[in-house]
Structure 1
Amino acid sequence: MTPSRRAAAPAAAATLLLALAACTSTSDAAEAPASQWSDLADSAACADLREAHPDLVGTTQTNAINPHTPGYEVIDPENPDRFMGFDIDLGEAIGACLGFDVDYVAVGFSELIPTVASGQADWIVSNLYATQERAAGGVDFISYSKVFDGVLVAKGNPEGITGIDTSLCGLTVALNKGYVEVPLVEAVAPDCTAAGLAAPEVALFDSSADCVQAILAGRADAYMNDINTVNRFIAEHPDDLDSAETVMLDYEIGIGVLQGEHEFRDAVQAALTVVQDTGLQTELAEKWELDANAVAEPTVLSVG
């Protein structure tokens, strides 16, 4: 595991990198900084991308993340000033390919898109499902993974939950603010009413960890998220939690960039394609115990 620094880390390294970039000739702009991703960065494909996007070389791009999703992005338990996970590695690999550094700003899940839209961060690599509604908030998405949702429940699934369906009637579902599952759960209400049952109650929280704690405390009956995330929480609490069902949603996980920043967006898409073509994304998925078969072709979703 190679955790990464927060935005609050000392600025000396970033300052040095910028100073070196300022002294770099145009012909040297294609040279990549040394890093754990040196094999990727030294590839001809990445060198070509740095030549094509010299304005990114030597810069620092701030990633807005919600660091509470095991496997994807969490705070390093051994160092609270660092992050670790699949998305952290993926973002830094893309940065190494394009010649830029990455720092971080941690925000609530519902604040990810507003943080980029307001200029407080440059991109989002944080297990964020790409949807038209979210893109309308001011970002373009570059997809990188398919979505398979799991339904987390108490051990033994005492309520008999079978998915995002009428088995949720009368129950409390814990979800992150801004989750795509919120309207999906709310849409079950008419069917519950037609059956003479109470609609599901949605309890909103700021992080996945809070949702899980609600189930552990008996304040919620279910929680939905990426199946890899659900399985991670079960592994952490094997005596208390179970998976009720896996649901394939019609979404993909995407990297969010500010609308209008087409050069940055297109550069990230091209670098992501290199990462996938080299097999690195699959390797990272295996490293972080995620579904290595969920790789999605890097396509752009934009409403701008």
Structure 2
Amino acid sequence: MKALKLFTPLAAALTLMASLCTSAQAADDVMRVGTDATFPPMEFVQDGKRTGFDIELIEAIGKQLNKKVEWVDIGFKGLIPGLISNRFDVAASAIYMTEERQKVVNFTDSYYRGGLAVLVLKEDASIDKPADLVAGKKVSAQVGTKSIDFLKTNYPAVTVVEVEKNQAMFDLLAIGRVNAAVTGRPAAVEYAKRQPKVRVLDEGLTTELYGFAIRKNDTELQQQMNQALQTLRSNGEYAALTQKWFGTTKE
């Protein structure tokens, strides 16, 4: 009886250890990815499912790493804080690799080139180039993005109207509540295709590189994702995705 009493706690402890090991192993097979799926063609929801260039590229990387991708939906301004606080392992949402962000997180190698662009109404002849963003003009931009600080620093005379969601920024322009909207060029071009009332200025504001954000201490995952990106570029899958979403194989 005494031997049985000693065995029972030991067996329970061993069972718990085995369970913890199994859970840890399962976690190694999962890559949690935070995204704000409101930014077509990079990431958005269509027919109830996430899709877009970033979404499909991350899924392809997951397959290369033999990891199941678990998506975590979060507003753009919460992506970096959520990553740092371990809510997910990767932030993938058309994030510019800015110096400020690189102080607190690491990035993969750049996976696409973009930059800030200006959207205006076609009927508005008063804005034909960025220099026309002068006093009296209202410009919408999404909170948490580079657009806000860039406008306040480089175009201090304009009134910046900050919105939570990318679509709200476009809506304000379409109904004439603002004179322009500033966002990433891929999203600006995509919106202009769907909304005949607007146009994208030929002259951009900046040239930027997109990267997937990873915690500073997660260098192993960073290296694995970089290797996966290299493989996808060499085997043609990356080119197929850029052709699908941007109509070109050029980055």
TM-score norm. by structure 1 comes to 0.70
Render the CA deviation track for 1:23-74: whole Å, top value 9, x for unaligned: xxxxxxxxxxxxxxxxxxxxxxxxxxxxxxxx79961111111111111111
Specify the alignment match of 1:204 in structure 2: 162
Instruction: Find 1:214's aligned residue among 172, 187, 190.
Output: 172
Specify the alignment match of 2:50 in structure 1: 83
What pairs with 1:41-56 in structure 2 (closer than 5 Å)? Answer: none
283-292 or 210-219, which deviates more? 283-292
The aligned length equals 229
Specify the alignment match of 1:126 in structure 2: 93
Q: Is 2:44 aligned against 1:74?
A: yes
Render the CA deviation track for 1:253-296: whole Å, top value 9, x for unaligned: 011011110101111111111111222222101112355312xx
Give the superposition deviation at 1:118.
0.8
2: CA distance between counterparts of 1:280 and 1:167? Answer: 40
2: CA distance between counterparts of 1:225 and 1:189? Answer: 15
Specify the alignment match of 2:12 in structure 1: none
2: CA distance between counterparts of 1:224 and 1:289? Answer: 19
Give the superposition deviation at 1:215.
0.5
Amino acid at match of 1:147: G
Amino acid at match of 1:261: D
RMSD: 2.2
Give the superposition deviation at 1:226.
2.4
2: CA distance between counterparts of 1:292 and 1:148? Answer: 18
Secondary structure class of the residue paired with 1:126:
coil
What pairs with 1:1-304 in structure 2 (closer than 5 Å)? Answer: 59-76=29-46, 78-79=47-48, 82-136=49-103, 138-142=104-108, 143-163=110-130, 165-189=131-155, 199-238=157-196, 240-247=197-204, 249-289=206-246, 292-294=249-251
Give the superposition deviation at 1:166.
4.9
Query: Aligned pair in 2 of structure 1 residues 161, 111: CA closer, same or farther (>3 Å)?
Result: farther
Q: Runs of 5+ in structure 2 lacking a partner?
A: 1-18
Amino acid at match of 1:274: T
Query: Aligned pair in 2 of structure 1 residues 272, 56: CA closer, same or farther (>3 Å)?
Result: farther
Q: Runs of 5+ in structure 1 lacking a partner?
A: 1-18, 23-54, 191-198, 295-304
Over alpha carbons, which structure has the higher Rg? 2
Query: Aligned pair in 2 of structure 1 residues 159, 286: CA closer, same or farther (>3 Å)?
Result: same
2: CA distance between counterparts of 1:168 and 1:274? Answer: 46
Structure with the bigger percentage of helix: 2
Percent identical pairs in the alignment equals 23
2: CA distance between counterparts of 1:154 and 1:270? Answer: 43
TM-score norm. by structure 2 comes to 0.84
2: CA distance between counterparts of 1:99 and 1:253? Answer: 24
